[in-house]
């Protein structure tokens, strides 16, 4: 019965924190991206979008049960980093996105996935080494 309650709590946290947090991350990155490309009064400011992004990270960490392992925030930070790197590439290479044509969105998503999984691997490795160290000390 105790395990069932934990399982139900995990599901509830994921539904009410994890999913909305992930959506908030995606929308805040879109707002940041839109604000850089076309700064208009209708868009939230960069400060507001950054606050929404951090709130989304916090909610997602709560929803996936990793709140005590805050380094997982770096996995989420890969999303805006990749999007902004494409902006800077386009600015530097003058029309980088136009040369790629319809491949720009799949390429950006593939880069986000690759960097996120890479960061997750580093964070997982750090926490597993930390756990082994704690087990050896006991």
Are residues 58 and 13 in contact, defined by beta-carbon separation less than 8 angstroms?
no
- pLDDT score for 102: 65
- pLDDT score for 32: 81
Tell me if 136 is assigned to some domain.
Answer: no
DSSP secondary structure, the chain, as one string: -HHHHHHHHHHHHIIIIIHHHHHHHHHHHHHHHHHHHS--TTSPPHHHHHHHHHHHHHHHHHHTT-TT-GGGHHHHHHHHHHHHHHHHHHHHHTSHHHHHGGGHHHHHHHHHHHHHHHHHHHHHHHHHHHHHHHHHH-
| Residues 55 and 75 occupy one common structural domain | no
| Residues 3 and 44 occupy one common structural domain | yes
Number of domains composing the chain: 2
| Residues 123 and 78 occupy one common structural domain | yes
CB-count burial class (<10 Å; 0-12, 13-18, 19+) for 42:
exposed
What number of other Cβ atoms are within 10 A of residue 99's Cβ?
11
| Residues 48 and 76 occupy one common structural domain | no
| Residues 14 and 27 occupy one common structural domain | yes
| Residues 73 and 125 occupy one common structural domain | yes
Tell me if 137 is assigned to some domain.
Answer: no
For residue 5, what are the domain limits? 1-67
- pLDDT score for 96: 64
24, 48, 67: which is the final residue of a domain? 67
Q: What is the mean pLDDT for each group of 10 consecutive residues in the chain (138 residues)?
A: 82 92 89 78 83 90 86 82 72 66 72 85 89 81
pTM over 0.75: no
- pLDDT score for 55: 92
- pLDDT score for 90: 65
| Residues 58 and 74 occupy one common structural domain | no
Are residues 76 and 85 in contact, defined by beta-carbon separation less than 8 angstroms?
no
- pLDDT score for 24: 93
| Residues 59 and 73 occupy one common structural domain | no
């Amino acid at each position: 019965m105790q395990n069932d309650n934990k399982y139900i709590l995990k599901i509830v946290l994921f539904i009410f924190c994890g999913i909305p947090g992930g959506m908030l991350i995606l929308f805040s990155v879109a707002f940041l991206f839109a604000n850089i490309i076309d700064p208009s009064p209708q868009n939230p400011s960069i400060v507001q979008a950054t606050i929404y992004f951090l709130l989304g990270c916090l909610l997602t960490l709560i929803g996936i049960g990793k709140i005590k392992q805050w380094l997982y925030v770096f996995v989420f930070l890969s999303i805006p980093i990749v999007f902004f790197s494409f902006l800077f590439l386009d600015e530097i290479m003058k029309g980088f996105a136009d040369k790629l044509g319809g491949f720009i969105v799949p390429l950006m998503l593939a880069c986000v996935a690759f960097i996120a999984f890479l960061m997750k691997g580093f964070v997982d490795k750090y926490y597993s080494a930390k756990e082994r160290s704690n087990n050896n000390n006991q």
